[in-house]
Structure 1
Amino acid sequence: MFGCCVAGRALQTNLELIDETHAVFQLGSASTINHVCVFSTAPLPDGYGAAVHFHWPGKGFQLLGMLSNDKPSAIFRLRGTFSSTSSYGAAFNTDTQSMGGDVTAALGLSIEPIHAIEAQLQALPSALAKPNGGLASNPTLLAEKVVKNLFNYLSGFTGGGAMTPEVAVPMGYIIKWYEGFTNKVKLSGLGFLENDD
């Protein structure tokens, strides 16, 4: 009923059923995973969705988001987003373990009423609940973060000198920044701007 794809790896359809409403994918070499795509291969019951959880060994489960009939697939960023605010370990009852210096993590799916999943997502800290960290709701803060990102990028080309209004910056650098910036936004939203501080 679900599939999982980690970039650079074969498609996973080896879903382990825990019970009627819980299932899990085991993700080997988890420290190398940045993003994971999860999708439904069959319609969910009306009014229900699939809550998507990620379990890093020793840290518990974290709610990433949800799938529904209206949104049957999603890409989730795993690296740098963990917050141990969830207690779903007992529901999934999975043994993730260390294997040869790396760990096997778990991607859990829980079939629940959509309104219940939405309530759980609302309860998450804002940086986790919203892929853009809430910046889109504050245009002034967003503009400030974008300009700061550009300034930090361009200051790397001043040869160690201070960035002053008199320093000329070739347009090629600004074009390169713009292309890199828009690619990051397309891949992972605006969350990376929070890390510029």
Structure 2
Amino acid sequence: MFGCVVAGRLLQTNLQQIDESHAAFELPAAGSINHVCVFLLGTVPFPDGYGAAVHFFWPGKGFQLLGMLSNEKPSAIFRLRGNFTAQTTSTQAAFGNTAQMSAAPGADVTAVLGLSIEPLAQIMQQTNSLPSALSKPAAPPSDPTVVAEKIVKHMFNYISGFVSGNTSSGNITPDSVVPMGLVAKWYESFLTKVKAVGPGFLDRQE
């Protein structure tokens, strides 16, 4: 029913069934994991009104609630934040026991990604307690007209620094001649800066 991918690793489908409503993936070498993707395989949907709470268990540290899956949200990518809490519920304890048994002495720890099938209302109540940054909507894309205006302004400022000295007034006029090589230089410099620091520098120009 579920699949799991740790960034940089092969797809995992070796799901371990704990009971009727709990299942888990073992994640070896957990110390190197930053992001994990969990998804429905599309073979078996959730019953109406149900979904899965997704937990990450680290032996000896506890658990962190990552988020949820549902028929309407069949996949999700989670960043492991390392904010663990003590195990206090039967669901957390079930996954915690699995994690403890999976840890091999003297080896890099094997953590557990737990899936708990529960009513959606119950899952939503849990996920509402997650940090707001996880549910914060993405910022709307920048207005392309504003972005274009910033780019043109950057080019004008760059070129004027070279051309203004060749004019009697010290400023660019409609009749000022701009060598194409200068435009090419600006273009190369602009791309280098965007690749290095992103477009944010456009907001800081005079």
Q: Give the number of equivalent residue pairs.
A: 143
Q: CA offsets, 1:140-178, max 9 Å, x none?
A: xxxxxxxxxxxxxxxxxxxxxxxxxxxxxx643245322
Equivalent position of 2:22 in the other structure = 22
Residues 50 and 110 in structure 1, CA contact (< 8 A), matched pair in contact too? yes
C-alpha RMSD over aligned residues: 2.5
1:64-94 CA-to-partner distances (Å, cap 9, x unmatched) read 000000010111111x342326634323331
- 1:161 is matched with none
Equivalent residue for 1:49? 51
Q: Counterparts of 1:86 and 1:126 in 2: how far apart (Å)? A: 23
Structure 1 position 131, deviation (Å):
4.8
Calculate percent identity across the aligned residue pairs.
60
Distance in 2 between the 1:91 and 1:174 partners? Answer: 49
Gaps of 5+ in 2: 140-188, 201-206
Counterpart for residue 159 of structure 1: none
Calculate the TM-score normalised by the size of structure 2.
0.61
The 5 A counterparts of 1:29-48 are 29-41=29-41, 42-48=44-50
Contact 1:63 1:86 in 2 (8 A): no
Equivalent position of 1:60 in the other structure: 62
| Structure 1: 4+ residue segments shifted above 6 A | none
TM alignment of 1:37-186, pairs within 5 A: 37-41=37-41, 42-78=44-80, 80-84=81-85, 87=88, 88-92=91-95, 93-94=97-98, 95-98=101-104, 100-127=106-133, 130-132=134-136, 171=190, 172-178=192-198
Higher Cα Rg, which structure: 2
Q: Which runs of 5+ in 1 are unaligned?
A: 137-169, 181-197
* Cα distance in 2 between the residues matched to 1:36 and 1:179: 29
Check 1:8–1:125 CA distance in 2 against 1; reply closer, same or farther (3 A cut). Answer: closer
Contact 1:65 1:121 in 2 (8 A): yes
TM-score (structure 1 length as normaliser): 0.64
